[in-house]
Structure 1
Amino acid sequence: MSSVSQTLPARRGPLVVAGGVVVAILLSSVANALIAVLAHALGAPDDFDPLKASSYIFLTVLGVLAGSAGWALVRRFSRDPERLLRPLVPSVVVVSFVPDFFKFEDGEVTGVVALLLMHVAVAVLAVSAYRKVMPLGPVR
């Protein structure tokens, strides 16, 4: 017979959770900076505002914070958070693409593709951090 400590995820303290979220923000910002540099090297115009650090870092912070709040809510209230998050995370990422598609009107393809890649990179890095600092438990 297994004990409760073996079946439930360890509860992390608020400083550990906050630290994990900060690390996700930092790593995501670095990944986005690399994507922006690559996009500019491949022909995205220097004046494409969404690829300026002030734009994507601000939105990265908002996205990671919103994602962490959503993750915590699902973790807290869902009977099976893993099952709920499996389709929810990719769905949220796809919905986050919508504003970027309006940038195609400017005829800017390279920059828009870079923005889409940024969303995916942030999601991958943030979910990895959330799993470490806010682990999902078994079905309750």
Structure 2
Amino acid sequence: MSEVSETFPSQRGPLVLVGGVLIAFLLSSLVNALIAVLAHAMGAPKDFDPLKLASYVSLTGLGVLAGAVGWGIVRRTSRNPEHLLRRLVPSVVVVSFVPDFFQLHEGGVKGMVALLVMHVAVAVIAVQAYRTVMPLESVR
């Protein structure tokens, strides 16, 4: 009996790509809503704008979309996209923390930590979606 290697196309159709990014956005927004509710329950200020639905949903959408564009660029242009993305993704997440630290005076430690957790949650969810709809290798 011979082994058969399963080959996946490295290019997905546009509907699959849009669907994957949309699912990442929706799931990330849902997780961020849970984080916001928990942060408020633990004492983050109710009037802290970044933990309001309109703020984090719009920024989540922007982040997921920007991440998808960046992932696609790296995937197409890098000789070793896996290696590059293993360094780039955590670096971008850490850089994304910078504006959150400026929110300390308004949101307190609990509000700021909630924002940091939101960034990590969005990155984890988005990377899994990108791996599915924009795989980095054609043979698995």
- TM-score for the superposition, normalised by structure 1: 0.91
- 1:120: which partner in 2? 120
State percent identity of aligned pairs.
71
Tell me, which stretches of 5 or more residues in structure 1 are unaligned?
none
Cα distance between partner residues in 1 of 2:34 and 2:106: 23
| Alpha-carbon offset, residue 104 of structure 1 | 1.4
Aligned-partner SS, 2:131: helix
| CA RMSD across the alignment | 1.6
Cα distance between partner residues in 2 of 1:8 and 1:30: 30
Aligned-partner SS, 2:43: coil
Cα distance between partner residues in 2 of 1:107 and 1:113: 9
| Alpha-carbon offset, residue 15 of structure 1 | 0.6
Cα distance between partner residues in 2 of 1:107 and 1:25: 24
| Alpha-carbon offset, residue 122 of structure 1 | 0.1
Structure 1 residues 49 and 107, CA gap change in structure 2 (3 angstroms)? closer
1:54-102: per-residue Cα shift (whole Å, max 9, x none)? 0000000000000000000000000000000001000000000000000
Are residue 75 (structure 1) and residue 94 (structure 2) matched?
A: no
- Any runs of at least 4 consecutive aligned residues in structure 1 with deviations exceeding 4 A, and if so which? 5-9
* Pairs aligned (count): 134
- 2:86: which partner in 1? 86
Structure 1 residues 95 and 72, CA gap change in structure 2 (3 angstroms)? same
Which one-letter code corresponds to 1:18 in the other structure?
V
CA contact (8 A) 1:9 1:136 kept: no
| Alpha-carbon offset, residue 11 of structure 1 | 1.7
CA contact (8 A) 2:48 2:107 kept: no
- 2:59: which partner in 1? 59
Which one-letter code corresponds to 2:113 in the other structure?
V
- 2:101: which partner in 1? 101
Which one-letter code corresponds to 1:43 in the other structure?
G
Tell me, which stretches of 5 or more residues in structure 2 are unaligned?
none
1:32-74: per-residue Cα shift (whole Å, max 9, x none)? 0000000000000110000000000000000000000000000
CA contact (8 A) 2:48 2:106 kept: no
Aligned-partner SS, 2:102: helix
